[in-house]
Structure 1
Amino acid sequence: MIAKDPAGRREPIDLEWIQSLPERYGWPTQNERGYKIDEVPSGLSRPLRVVVLGGGASGINFAKFAQDELENVEFVLYEKNNDIGGTWLENRYPGCACDVPSVTYQYTWEPHIWSRFYASSPEINEYLKGVAKKYDVEKYIRLNHKIEKAEWDETIGRWNIEVQPNGGEKFIDQCDIFINAGGPLNYWEWPKIEGLETFKGIKAHSAAYPEGLDLKGKRVAVAGIGSSGIQIIASIQKEVSHLYTWIRSPTYVVGNFGTKYAMGTDPNPEYTEEQKEMLRTNPELYLKYRKNLEATSTVRFGVFYKGTPESIAAKEYCQNQMKQELEGHDDIIEALVPKTFPVGCKRPTPGSGFLKALISENTTTYTNFGLNRITEKGFIDPDGNEQEVDVIILATGFNTTWVPRFPILGRNGVNLQDLYTKNPLSYLGVSAPYMPNYFTYYGPYGPLGQASAVVMMDFFTRYMLKMIRKIQTRRIHSLAPKWDVCEKFQEHANLYLERTVWADNCKSWWKGGREDGPIMLYPGTRTQYMELLDDPAYEDYDIKYQTDNQWSFLGNGYSVRDYDKRDLTWYMGLVEGKDEQKDFDVSELFQSTS
């Protein structure tokens, strides 16, 4: 599909007439070196094709803005699943919800009236589907299409994208720009546990949870106490006959975020019909409410610095809260409550009901021991006894190494898989060296450790649109961030991040699931990051032009605006807000008065 004229006001330009002028008047068009003036105005957007991987929140965001603001661009989104929604389509396990307030986990340009303080996965997925339908971007998305390879062709300056339709024949889609909107939380795999394949009951992974699985009255084992495990355990404990779980390493289970604005004592309250109506009918009130919650996540950045009063206070508060809720269960306190690392070392999870579930009568919690051996009927406990269960749920998360799931072969045959395996070098988490005309949402060193991911998508998208327009209007063959610029950014980031709690000794998914892995987070606040993306530093890129004269885009010396009937004095301000050229009636100024 081709993006429409975003302005909706440009009149066609008669290029044939423009190009006839040099011959008509005998103007020179070419010099002795062979350089030739291209007889078109500057600012003309050459046609481009964009391929986007993913139909989740990032992909929908790109499609909406590209449709509204790009000109002469054809684009398509390939989504491997049978519906849109990305991680919120795939993650359907019991209790699955966002871990930041729902009113901040939405597009800034499409506020929604949510049912609860923390929205559930189905509600978020319905929101995304509703946005796609409302803004008519579903037509750009090809469902059941999986990208399996991307290879850059330097000769023509295009990507060859290998696409495998579900049940169809593989094909190659060629594009000028390749955008990876797949996100880091979509590649799961079964953990390597002895005997897993022999279990004759029901086994489920949190990232591929079977719809309609009834756990009522069943014996259930849940392995993993990351975000998904915490939510599952809290959600199912009351309905199962017996619950088994394991604590292998400590983690902070925090009080719910933004409780000051949670409207009551319930950690995840439902909004009343009266409250929803107030937010629906009073946009200014809703904006203030959203801004209060969003600002809370920004101003508390001091928590992420080692040794600050904020960090120390957060650690003491969370430790005390956890100990209070687990009172009388010293073995669980000893195993679960962190002693050595501060809050924020790994992403803290709001855990309403989780701690209570761990110490309930129908729960067996094993400490300092993992699920190491599975049998046909259940698993082997720390004492060597077999415990029979009906269902095993593996909440073991995702592969979060940032290594692409398929080959991405850039300039000189460099494979991004190899590059990110050895050293995840990136440019602000939005592009990568040796990868021309390639952009990504939330790549290595993006701002993942802070607040809502959805809010940041606007900034990624706007950055990409600016790059696309630059390529379109400046006769650019390709651009990729300079290697030395990425190295120096990484040098600064690595040194800076040593002062943060993210560098402490804990396993986290922004360190690739390792305790000693490199920290792949942006070294600063979201505010700073937003400002960087708002003002692209084109000098940080190796730019290759379509011709050997980078000034060829100046063309015939005119701008598109000189021809397309837009206001030629726009810089003085627009009359009635209309960007159009016209002669205004000012005769009253000269009428004589008696």
Structure 2
Amino acid sequence: MANKGNQNGSASKDSAYTIIEQPLGSTSAVKIITIGAGASGLNMIRTLRNNIPLAENVVYEKNPDIGGTWFENRYPGCQCDIPSHNYQFSWATNPTWSKFYSPAPEIHQYLKDLAMKEGLYDSIKLNHQVEHAEWNEEEGMWHVRVRDLETDALTLDSAHFLLDGSGILNNWKWPDIPGLDKFQGDLVHSANWNDDFVYKDKRVAVIGNGSSGVQIVPAMQPDVETLVHFFRSPTWIAPGGIERMSTSTAGDVISQLKLDGEVFTAAQIENFKNDKELYKRFVKATEEVVNNKFDYLVNSKAIAPVIKESMTKYMHGALKDNEKLIEKLVPDFPFGCRRITPSPAYLAAFHKSNVKVVTDEIKSVYEKGLITTENEKIEVDAIVCATGFDVSFCPRFPIIGRKGNLQDIWTRELPSSYMSMAVPGMPNYFTFLGPNAPIGHGSVLTITELASKYITRIIQKCQEECIKSIVPKQKAVDDLADHIAAFMPRTAWAGSCRSWFKNGEKDGPVTALHPGSRIHWFHMLQRFRGEDFDYTHWTNNSFGYLGNGYSLWEGPGQNSTWYLDEPDRMI
């Protein structure tokens, strides 16, 4: 990325400094490697193409197709728990979503369609897995080892910037239950679903009541002989989206829609296509409701206990005041402590004669089933593990920077980052949805749009100012971590519940979420705080980028008197 230009210009008498013979604003070629072709990787391709000249960006994707979590998750009932029209890129709005909450195949197809339309596949290498990355200080480059999963061939690549879009809900794991490997029936994980698995008329155990388990139980229940649902903790279940939105500030626009339950009728989809004003009002109104969720997650807000009481009443009603079910399913911890999943069908499933709830811990698994801590043996034909992911933020492969391997650092220390996107000691390395991102606050797609713009502005700065490396200062990250630790106790997330927001711990620190609302995070990213970073430069003078005294903003074809056009505009 060296922006050295023609250095045969005038030199100072007292130093080896030489003027670069190019105008201010000149850019140098830059190479970027992005890991992952999920939503973050796809959006980043487009953002870089639109804003970074002389950029080469290659995206390595381990799967045989794009889409990330929406390619990998294929379990029965899999769908988004964010309203469809808010779970889309602002630059690729889709009026044809079929339901209020879109099923996984539809979201995956949406991503494939926009990738094809935008020509994003040209930058992506499928079936390529990054196995090792190491920063070379002298070269100012990341050296990356990549395995072609089709041929097993290893290749070496290098780039000025390494962008990690591998995601947090990606590295699925089996539950730590003794004897799991001894089970002789079907054993499947929700995030690694076997499409050949036939569960009809079988006795099935479903372990876990996170968002995947909540969706799987009602989807499988009608087809199985018996369904035994194992979980350790109660969880908050919310009413359906249309029901909740109808009583919110979005109620007026929702009342104008033609719906069949939570399905958009063909007439309504056609109306969305033709009535742009109605479509925009609907999207903005529901987005505002999603954004405002933060209000009931702050303990000091008067609305928090009101919402908790309302949700408790709803769950009691949906469970038909069955005291045994209420005791097992309705939490006493704050509403929002665990991720909230809307699913009236989940609560309805517990009234079916073929469903059994077990909250005793699983002591072990044997050849024909499971044994609880109460020594109850439960025979099943299949075990479905909806037990989530490794959410420690620890990378899946070595990433070696100035201070060593990030795997080792985040194993011995609490994961922390700069605004969820940069890590001390890791020059020119940026993450999407790193520690303390706003991933519990709404749609990931608009979040990754803002992250992409922030990272792109940093790359632009480096490209135009002869910056060789940029890395956040440890003090800046430590100060931010102190703020997060002081803030989190005022939120529902810090309540006493076992949550992936706290790496599966009941009372551990909140490592996954931003200390504020989505808008708070968006606002925070509007200005780049250059004082929080350390820099090295390609030139021996940090002002070398000023060049030959001219600017690209002047000359033929340029509006070099732009400052006269809008006198009150901040330049």
CA 267–384 in structure 1, closer or farther in 2 if over 3 Å, else same: farther
Q: Partners of 2:556 and 2:335 in 1: how far apart?
A: 57
Preserved CA contact (<8 Å) 2:438 2:521:
yes
CA 144–153 in structure 1, closer or farther in 2 if over 3 Å, else same: same
TM-score under structure 1 length normalisation: 0.89
CA 219–266 in structure 1, closer or farther in 2 if over 3 Å, else same: farther
Q: Partners of 1:168 and 1:50 in 2: how far apart?
A: 23
Preserved CA contact (<8 Å) 2:209 2:231:
yes
Deviation at 1:459, TM superposition (A): 0.5
Q: Partners of 1:280 and 1:291 in 2: how far apart?
A: 16
Q: Partners of 2:553 and 2:234 in 1: how far apart?
A: 62
3-state DSSP of counterpart to 2:133:
strand
Equivalent residue for 2:99?
Answer: 116
Structure 2 counterpart of 1:135, from 118, 135, 138: 118
Structure 1 counterpart of 2:431, from 440, 451, 472: 440
Deviation at 1:522, TM superposition (A): 1.3
Preserved CA contact (<8 Å) 1:202 1:391:
yes
Equivalent residue for 1:126?
Answer: 109
Q: Partners of 2:554 and 2:154 in 1: how far apart?
A: 46
Preserved CA contact (<8 Å) 2:318 2:344:
no
Larger Rg: 1
Q: Partners of 2:316 and 2:523 in 1: how far apart?
A: 41
- AA partner of residue 435 (structure 1): M
Q: Deviations over 1:319-339 (max 9, x none)?
A: 111112223532221122112
CA 268–304 in structure 1, closer or farther in 2 if over 3 Å, else same: farther
Q: Deviations over 1:17-40 (max 9, x none)?
A: xx88x6xxxxx4343311111111
Q: Quick check: 407-416 or 103-112, which moved more?
A: 407-416
Q: Deviations over 1:104-124 (max 9, x none)?
A: 001011111200000011100
CA 318–328 in structure 1, closer or farther in 2 if over 3 Å, else same: closer
Q: Partners of 2:556 and 2:196 in 1: how far apart?
A: 58
CA 110–516 in structure 1, closer or farther in 2 if over 3 Å, else same: same
Q: Partners of 1:406 and 1:168 in 2: how far apart?
A: 17
2:291 maps to 1:298:
yes
- AA partner of residue 286 (structure 1): Y
Q: Partners of 1:362 and 1:229 in 2: how far apart?
A: 17
Query: Which runs of structure 1 show a deviation greater than 4 angstroms over 4 or more consecutive aligned residues?
Result: 261-268
Aligned runs of 1:260-409 on 2, under 5 Å? 260=246, 269-339=262-332, 341-367=333-359, 369-380=360-371, 384-409=375-400
Q: Partners of 1:414 and 1:215 in 2: how far apart?
A: 43
- What is the aligned-residue identity percentage? 36
2:232 maps to 1:248:
yes
3-state DSSP of counterpart to 2:145:
strand
2:233 maps to 1:223:
no
Structure 2 counterpart of 1:259, from 227, 230, 245: 245
3-state DSSP of counterpart to 2:130:
strand
Q: Partners of 1:240 and 1:44 in 2: how far apart?
A: 65
Equivalent residue for 1:199?
Answer: 183
Deviation at 1:564, TM superposition (A): 6.5
- AA partner of residue 511 (structure 1): K
Unpaired segments of 5 or more residues in structure 1? 3-14, 23-27, 575-594
3-state DSSP of counterpart to 1:467:
helix
Equivalent residue for 1:10?
Answer: none
- Paired positions, count: 551
3-state DSSP of counterpart to 1:85:
coil
3-state DSSP of counterpart to 2:188:
strand
Q: Partners of 1:334 and 1:267 in 2: how far apart?
A: 34
3-state DSSP of counterpart to 1:150:
strand
CA 45–564 in structure 1, closer or farther in 2 if over 3 Å, else same: farther
Q: Quick check: 125-134 or 494-503, which moved more?
A: 494-503
3-state DSSP of counterpart to 1:444:
coil
Deviation at 1:125, TM superposition (A): 0.5
Preserved CA contact (<8 Å) 2:362 2:373:
no
Deviation at 1:513, TM superposition (A): 1.0
Deviation at 1:359, TM superposition (A): 2.6
Preserved CA contact (<8 Å) 1:247 1:335:
no
Q: Partners of 1:159 and 1:32 in 2: how far apart?
A: 35
Preserved CA contact (<8 Å) 1:252 1:343:
yes
Preserved CA contact (<8 Å) 2:258 2:265:
no
Deviation at 1:60, TM superposition (A): 0.3
Equivalent residue for 1:587?
Answer: none
2:154 maps to 1:170:
yes
2:152 maps to 1:161:
no
Deviation at 1:186, TM superposition (A): 0.3
Deviation at 1:413, TM superposition (A): 2.8
- AA partner of residue 336 (structure 1): L
Q: Partners of 1:414 and 1:567 in 2: how far apart?
A: 49
TM-score under structure 2 length normalisation: 0.92
Preserved CA contact (<8 Å) 1:42 1:555:
yes
3-state DSSP of counterpart to 1:237:
helix
Deviation at 1:300, TM superposition (A): 3.5
Deviation at 1:70, TM superposition (A): 1.2
Equivalent residue for 1:578?
Answer: none
CA 210–414 in structure 1, closer or farther in 2 if over 3 Å, else same: closer
Structure 2 counterpart of 1:40, from 22, 31, 36: 22
